[in-house]
A = this chain, B = another copy of it.
Amino acid sequence: MKKILILPGDGIGPEIVAQARRVLDVLRNDGLEIEMTEAPLGGAAYDQFGSPYPEFTQKLAREADAVLLGAVGGPQYDTLDRPLRPERGLLAIRKDLNLFANLRPAILYPELANASTLKPEVVSGLDILIVRELTGDIYFGQPRGVHVNEAGEREGFNTMRYAESEIRRIAHVAFQAAQKRNKKLCSVDKANVLETTEFWKEIVTDVAKEYPDVQLSHMYVDNAAMQLVRNPKQFDVMVTGNIFGDILSDEASMLTGSIGMLPSASLDQNNKGLYEPSHGSAPDIAGKNLANPLATILSLAMLLRYSLANEAAAVRVENAVKKVLADGLRTGDIYEEGTRKVSCSEMGDAVVAAL
């Protein structure tokens, strides 16, 4: 019996997670051995417990085999003190569960090719996997803060930091992912300026010796940001640190034009993971039954694949999503003329039917 913790979160989170939950219900009825519990994270957790990652949620998260998250954040929390804001809940659960490996696919669905702002020939067939380190780097590095410096002036400071073992373990994840795909890995750094990333490059190059079948390349982060626009299909798997990964994975998602379709997984050493759509909490359309639940449903597919090691169930969910797209169903964000516009729950109905 596997334990799945569901964190609806804020904004459109509850609506999109509700549809993923219906998919899970179908799988359970068909014999998938799971237990589901729910807890708040982010703003919802602050409202209920006064903290974006309260003990209540922490305890359940530690016990779970996998966590499915909607999204966190909303304008009503913007004025809270820094440690109480929704994003801190997300950063806290990543760190607490040691979810160091963030896998973010950027895939262009043929049915949605028009949604991209790039020319069809540049993006058709696009299929990149970005492997982003998620628990180190300048996100968590100490010392940090705002102080008065030696010159008597106020100054902000943060520390980028990577230890050898942190780089090694994410490099292994990336090489292994590349082995299952087109065996090309591009490691992104700024080794010409930053010692941390020069060290990153050295360690990734060392790990490469264990994966002679994978072709490793290195690219500066500024060039990578350009190459994603110039010729994104040159990439198979990309691996990079937390902050560069934050920037490049968002850029890469947007190349598809349909970020409402893109799932993500954040894994620990033992494939326990947190799964969430790549998009945000979209407060402007929250509660209106307009959101696209497919990225969340595809995140559930990743959960089945990685944390439950149930490839068959994962493929079943992914095929159901492909079917509804092929049938021409679209939520507002991916709607175009000649297709049928549906609500969030209608999209859920269709996926359930397609299962």
A residues with a Cβ closer than 8 A to B are 82, 85, 87, 91, 117-119, 122, 138-139, 141, 144-146, 149, 151, 153-165, 190, 192-200, 221-223, 225-231, 243-244, 246-251, 253-255, 257, 259
Contacts and interface: CB of A to CB of B under 8 A. Distances in A.
30 contacts: A87-B192, A117-B229, A118-B119, A118-B229, A138-B138, A144-B195, A144-B196, A146-B195, A153-B163, A153-B164, A155-B163, A155-B164, A155-B199, A156-B161, A156-B200, A157-B160, A158-B159, A158-B195, A158-B196, A159-B159, A190-B243, A222-B250, A225-B248, A225-B250, A226-B250, A226-B251, A226-B259, A229-B229, A229-B254, A230-B257
B163 A138 contact: no
A222 B246 contact: yes
B160 A158 contact: yes
A156 B197 contact: yes
A305 to B, nearest CB: 25
A155 B198 CA distance: 11
B195 A156 contact: yes
Contacts of A145: 195
Please classify the interface of chain A as helix (H, G, I), strand (E, B), loop, or mixed, using the class held by over half of its residues.
helix
Given A159-B158, A160-B159, A229-B254, A221 B247 contact: yes
A229 B251 contact: yes
Given A156-B161, A160-B157, A250 B230 contact: no
A153 B165 contact: yes
Contacts of A249: 222
A139 B200 contact: no
A141 B164 contact: no
B229 A247 contact: no
Given A91-B193, A199-B146, A222-B246, A141 B157 contact: yes
A199 B199 CA distance: 29
Q: Closest 9 CB pairs between A and B? A: A156-B199, A156-B196, A225-B251, A226-B254, A222-B250, A229-B254, A155-B163, A158-B160, A117-B122
Contact of A164 (B85, B154, B222): B154
B156 A162 contact: yes
A157 B226 contact: no
A229 B247 CA distance: 12
Contacts of A190: 243, 246
A198 B250 contact: no
A194 B139 CA distance: 7
